[in-house]
Amino acid sequence: MTKNADKSPLNITLDNVGHGFSLTDGSEIKLFSDVSMQIKAHQVTSIMGHSGSGKSTLLAIIAGLHQPNQGQVSYQLQSGQTLNTEQFRQRSGFVFQHFHLLNELDTLNNVALPLRLRGDKNAFDIAADWLDKVGLAARSKQPVNRLSGGEQQRVAIARAFAAEPDVVFADEPTGSLDEMTADKVFEVMFRCSEQNGNALVLVTHNEELSRQATQQFRLSHGKLEVVA
């Protein structure tokens, strides 16, 4: 359960990836095809697109949660070692649109959760540190269901970064928040990513926020276009 000792930076490469699904009548819906991209360590990557364009599916494929119908995804450390999906998943974290905090746990325990599960003896200290970084140190003993939406998402961000993953995936992390709160959450997320030195891959509708990413893509009509 302990994290891989090799701390050298991680690159993700997608090579001609394509995906779709079959309907019950046998017809096939193609979501996207020929997607090739590289996500480098320390980079913030944003993927935009309309609803139903397949961007969440693409995120799941990059995160190793789905096998693509075509092409392949590889995870390679700069030391040259290639990781399999399971090894990669141990070095990644997630931020969900609906936060998915455990209501039974207080704020501190929610953040400490991944560390405790991995057997980290300093779990609570690290978690307290991260709560401080996201500006919620004063709320550490509060039940999470008493926090506002923006605060809950900041707890979720602290939780994702606390385990020091190489990559954090965020699917519409501000989808449930108002514009002002969304800005703050993005700011926190970018800052955490920068401080941690990990890659951040996010899916969003919000073009303005997306522009802050190091590399920006748009999924449209089944193709991935580079925006910037």
Partner 1 sequence: MTAIRIAWQLFWHQSKTGKNTLLLLTLFSLSFYLCLISLVGSSVQQHLAHNLNELLGADSLLVSDHALNEQQLQQVESFAAKLSATTMVSMTLTHKEKWQSAQIKGVDSNYPLAGRVRVAKAAVGEALRLSHGPRVGNIWLDSVLLSRLGITVGEQMIVAGKTLKVSGVLRFEPDRLIEGHTVKLRAMMAMNDFVEVSGQSEVKYRYLLKNDANQQQALSQWIEQNQPQWQLVSSALGSHPLAAIWLRIEKFIGLSAILLFVLGAITLDLTSNRLLKAQQHFFAVCMSAGMLRTGVIQASLWLFVLTLLATLVPAALLAVVVEKNAVAAMQQFFPAIVSNWQLGELLGVSALCLLLFVVNQLPAWLALWRVSITDLLSETSLSVSKRLLRTVFPLLGLLVLVGYYSDNWRLTVLVLLVIGFGILLLMFFSWLVIVPGERLARNKSGLLSFALYMMRQRLVVKSAQIMGIGLSLILVILCLRMTDDFTQMFDKITLDRDGDLLITKATEKQHKDLLSWATKTGSKAMGFSPFVLSRLVAVNNKPLLQHTSGPSGSLSELSNGVHLTWNQTLPSNNQLIKGKWKGQWDRAAKQGLQQLSVEDEVAVDIGLNVGDQLSFNVGGATHDFTVGAIHQFKAGASAMTFWFVLMGEKPATLGAPSNYMGSIKVSDGGWDSVGQLWQTHPTLQMMPLKIVKQKLKQFTNTGVAIVLLFNVFITLMSLLVLLASVQGFAEDDRKRNGLILSFGLSRRHCLYVIGFEWLITALIASFGALFGTLLAGELLYQEQFGMDYKPQWLWLILTTLSATGGIAALGIWLCRGSLKVSVTDLLNERVEVA
Are 161 and 196 in contact by the 8 Å Cβ rule? The answer is: yes
Decide whether 93 or 150 has the Cβ nearer to partner 1: 93
Choosing from 15, 20, 41, 65, the residue that interacts with partner 1 (CB under 8 A) is: 65
Q: How far is the CB of 125 from partner 1 (least distance, A)?
A: 11
Q: Interacting stretch for partner 1, rule CB under 8 A, among 97-105, 179-187, 208-216, 219-227?
A: 97-105
Q: How far is the CB of 110 from partner 1 (least distance, A)?
A: 9
Residues 121-150 that bind partner 1 (CB under 8 A): 121, 123-124, 145
Q: Interacting stretch for partner 1, rule CB under 8 A, among 10-18, 42-50, 93-101, 210-218?
A: 93-101
Torsion over CA: 66, 31, 92, 36 (sign): positive
Closest CA relative to residue 66, chosen from 169, 204, 210, 173? 169
d(CA 146, CA 136): 13
**Total of residues contacting partner 1 (CB under 8 A):** 37
d(CA 112, CA 228): 36
Q: What angle do CA 191, 197, 199 make, to 5 degrees?
A: 90
Decide whether 124 or 190 has the Cβ nearer to partner 1: 124
Question: Which position has the token pair 């141990």?
Answer: 90
Question: Which position has the token pair 């995906």?
Answer: 19
CB count within 10 Å of CB 155 equals 27
**Per CB under 8 A, 119 contacts partner 1:** yes
**Per CB under 8 A, 153 contacts partner 1:** no
Contact residues for partner 1 (CB under 8 A)? Answer: 1, 56, 59-60, 63, 65-66, 86, 89-94, 96-98, 100, 102, 104-105, 109, 113-121, 123-124, 145, 163, 165, 171
